[in-house]
Amino acid sequence: MARVGNYFLGHPWRILVHSFQTCALAHYVFNHQYSFGWGFGPSMLPTFLVDGDIIIFDKHHRRGRDVRVGDCVSYHIPVSPDEDGVKRVIGMPGDYVLMNSPGATSDRMIQVPKGHCYIVGDNMPWSRDSRDYGPLPLALIKGKAIAKGQLVGWKPWRWFEPVPNGLAIEESS
């Protein structure tokens, strides 16, 4: 049998095997390594746009692994388990956090319990977060937001940018 220039035309089983390998690799990457989702709503303004930034999540950080104060995380919303949310971590186990928004009538502080974190939205008046349902179990964290962007234009190197740590102090030069 003469060899044809295209590798896939040699044997029909090759197409099936390579398709299966590609699907298995995609399944592994999107279920265990990285995922993406669309953020929408005003709770995380100005970090994420209201009309739907595309957010890339690193799943190596699921269940709170190596999550730090200031990171944006994806999580299962405890009061509606079928929904996911994205919020910023402001307290890890053992940290003391203000239970309400700054300037609220109650300035009560709590210590974040072991195995939990405290999350809030960047746009506090429009956010449903730990101030409403208490500290979030670390087991509900699905991943850490590492990049955001919108697929507009023809310059893919400008589509995504890192998600900033909104609690880091910027040094001026």
Q: What residues act catalytically? A: 43, 87
Alpha helices in 119-160 (DSSP H): 130-133
Compute the half-sphere exposure of residue 18: CA atoms within 13 Å on the CB side of its CA. Answer: 9
Closest CA to 166 of 90, 57, 84, 60: 90
pLDDT tens for 30-61 read 888 898 888 888 999 888 887 768 899 999 99
Please give the CATH number for the structural domain made up of 36-162: 2.10.109.10
Q: What percent of the chain has pLDDT over 90?
A: 44
pTM listed for this prediction: 0.79
